[in-house]
A and B are shown apart, each in its own frame.
Chain A
Amino acid sequence: MIVAGAVCPAPPLLLPELAGQEDVGRELREVCVRAVTDLLAQRPDVVVVVTVEDPVRSPSLPQRVAEMLLSGALDAVAAADRPRVEHLVVPADADTSDIEKLAGPLLERTDDVAILVLAEGSARRTEKAPGHLDPRASAYDEVTRAALETPDPAALLAQDVELADALLAAGHRALVLLAAATQSAAPSPVGDLRWADDPFGVMYFVVVWSCAS
């Protein structure tokens, strides 16, 4: 069963090896590590890291960020209690129905599963943003933010995947998978939104969902 979920962003600047003398990603990284630490506090048997396929590089950037965050969080867990880590990679061209099918096996698992999603909002929020300004970005991100905070898996599933692509919302399909895997959870997940901000024109969310009663 799915006991918890967490969403963290995966910008390269979270990787300490890419930081300048001024480590601009430090605060966000610390928030992410605390979120993953709290995910592990649900004592899952396995952490499934959900990322979107990167055809260029393996391990992908989100997988490298996840490895860094898990490494920081696992330090606080006794070796005997550490969960296994598995990776679930969503194809870059999957549509929502494809993703729902991909989530199916997670619902049938008998071990306790925590889902760690690497995803972000739009990278087109301002004129200085990496993808320049798209006026649709704010409304799109607000839907995602509210759905993560509530939590509201159905609202995430209803987000337009093509719009997400147009808004450079990296990892959106991984968010859809989290929604698909938790939409029928009973009781409903409880959300704890830790971060929702766009310091560099890209919307970052950090949230933890507790699913088990």
Chain B
Amino acid sequence: MLRLGRRTFGDDETLMMAIVNRTTDSFYDKGATWQEDAALERVRAVVDQGAEIVDIGGIKAAPGVEISADEEMRRVVDFVAKVRAEHPDLIISVDTWRASVGRAVCAAGADLLNDAWGGADPDLAEVAAEFDVGLVCTHVGPQQPRTRPHRVEYADVVADAIATTVGLAERAVSLGVDRDRILIDPAHDFGKNTWHSLEVTRRLDEMVATGWPVLVSLSNKDFVGESLDLPVGERLMGTLGATAICTWHGARVFRVHEVTETRQVVDMVSTIRGVRRPSRAVRGLA
């Protein structure tokens, strides 16, 4: 069982987590939702497309101008409150590694803390426990927030990802986070070269086998671009290919830019897996 916000999901249900950036410089949207009105419109659009979760971020992942905790809060806290007011049942996630920001967004109505930098601030899990919200436990290897991987080595990247994420999840439970509100994320591209991300994708079933629900964040990332020699903006089909494999292995939550396309692929693969019925079945059966 997975519980996020007010909602409970069965073991075979998949969820779309739509990315909403309150940044000027994120790699894919390049500031398209920096303005609050545009960001609110983006939330409305992805809700209409069927996204169960929005993941709001105030800092781009890549290196760049330093964003203080105060500035990060200015970007996301009031916005979370407005989204909460407009969409009472929407699951609101905030992508942050800072406990101070986590505390402020939880007070504003967030349901899930997406700790995309893998426990860089160990107090973030305590905030999740304090507010009884969810937590994404992420593998970033040796990487620090807002740095790029450089010559990262693993004896076994999947084993490392499992050990790290399960360790973070168990720690969160020990701090009082509801076990049913925890996800693990291998974090493609984070602390990984393209070969690592491909191996994590190919062996995602091993993470699923831990029993913790797995979130994947594949959307338009460099491992897709390098696999296909395609720039940002031309990676949708590659992203969907990786999405299909992760769905086949049992991933539960998909952090995405394109909700409609991803939902179709996830539903199709889930139907092939036999964990989702066809929408309609008449052909050859009348």
Please report A residues at the B interface, Cβ cutoff 8 Å. 11-13, 18-22, 24, 123, 130, 199-202
The smallest beta-carbon distance between B285 and chain A, in angstroms, is: 4
In the complex, the answer to whether A200 meets B286 with C-beta atoms within 8 Å is yes
Q: How many Å lie between the Cα of A155 and that of B282 in the bound state?
A: 32
User: Most chain-A Cβ atoms within 10 A of its Cβ — which of B278, B284, B286?
Assistant: B286
Q: Is B281 an interface residue (CB 8 A)?
A: yes
Q: What is B's interface to A at a CB cutoff of 8 Å?
A: 277-282, 284-286
Contact of B286 among A13, A19, A22 (CB under 8 A): A13
Residues of B within 8 A of A199 (CB): 286
Contact B285 A21 (CB under 8 A): no
Question: In the docked arrangement, what's the CA distance between A19 and B278, Å?
Answer: 8
Q: Return the chain B residue nearest A199 by Cβ.
A: B286
How many Å from the CB of A132 to the closest CB on chain B?
13
The answer to whether B284 and A19 touch across the interface, beta carbons within 8 angstroms, is: no
- Judging by beta carbons under 8 Å apart, are B278 and A21 in contact? yes
A-B contacts, CB under 8 A, total:
34
A11: min CB distance to chain B, Å? 5
Note all chain A residues with C-beta closer than 8 A to B280: 20-22, 24
Minimum CB–CB distance for B236 against chain A, Å? 27
Contact A24 B278 (CB under 8 A): no
Q: Which residues of B contact A20 (CB under 8 A)?
A: 277-281
Q: Which residue of B lies closest to A14 (CB)?
A: B285
- Judge whether A12 and B285 touch: CB under 8 Å: yes
Contact of A200 among B277, B278, B279, B282 (CB under 8 A): B282
The answer to whether B279 touches A24 (Cβ under 8 A) is: no
Q: Which residues of B contact A11 (CB under 8 A)?
A: 285-286
Shortest distance from the beta carbon of B209 to any chain A beta carbon, whole Å: 28
Residues of the B chain whose Cβ atoms lie less than 8 Å from the Cβ of A19: 277, 281
Kindly list chain A residues whose C-beta atoms are within 8 Å of the C-beta of B279: 20-22
CA distance A21 to B12 in the complex (A): 15
A18 touches B286 (CB 8 A): no
Residues of B with C-beta under 8 A to A200 = 282, 286
CA distance A199 to B280 in the complex (A): 14
**What chain B residues lie within 8 Å of A130 (beta carbons)?**
284, 286
Once bound together, how far apart are the Cα atoms of A24 and B286, in whole Å?
10
Query: Does A21 lie within 8 Å of B282, measured CB to CB?
Result: no
CB-defined A-B contacts under 8 Å, sample of 15? A11-B285, A12-B284, A12-B285, A13-B282, A18-B285, A19-B277, A20-B279, A20-B281, A21-B278, A21-B279, A21-B280, A22-B279, A24-B281, A200-B286, A201-B286
